C-alpha cells in the first residue's frame, strides 16, 4: 500500500489490518510510514465515528466499548 485510503470505511479497515497483522507495532510508526500524524488520523476517523483503542491497538466504533 503506497498511501492511506481517503474513504473512511476503507481507511479504518486498512489501518486496523496493518496494525493487526503486525506490519506496524504502533499507530505512530504506521503514521510515520505514511507521512501522517497520529492526531490527524485520529481526528479523521473520529469524524467518521471511530476512536482509537490503545489497549486493543485498533480503531473501534465510538461507544462500542462503553
- Confidence check: pLDDT of 66 > 70: no
Q: How many whole angstroms separate alpha carbon 15 and alpha carbon 59?
A: 8
pLDDT tens digit sequence for 40-60: 999 999 999 999 999 999 999
**Can you give the pLDDT at residue 13?**
97
pLDDT tens digit sequence for 3-31: 999 999 999 999 999 999 988 999 999 99
pLDDT-derived band at 64, boundaries 50, 70, 90: confident
Helices within the chain (DSSP H only): 8-20, 27-33, 38-47
Domain residue ranges in the chain: 8-61
Amino acid at each position: 500500500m503506497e498511501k492511506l485510503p481517503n474513504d473512511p470505511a476503507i481507511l479504518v479497515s486498512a489501518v486496523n489490518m496493518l496494525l493487526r497483522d503486525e506490519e506496524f507495532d504502533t499507530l505512530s510508526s504506521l503514521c510515520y510510514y505514511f507521512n501522517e500524524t497520529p492526531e490527524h488520523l485520529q481526528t479523521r476517523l473520529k469524524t467518521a465515528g471511530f476512536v482509537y483503542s490503545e489497549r486493543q491497538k485498533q480503531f473501534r466504533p465510538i461507544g462500542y466499548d462503553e
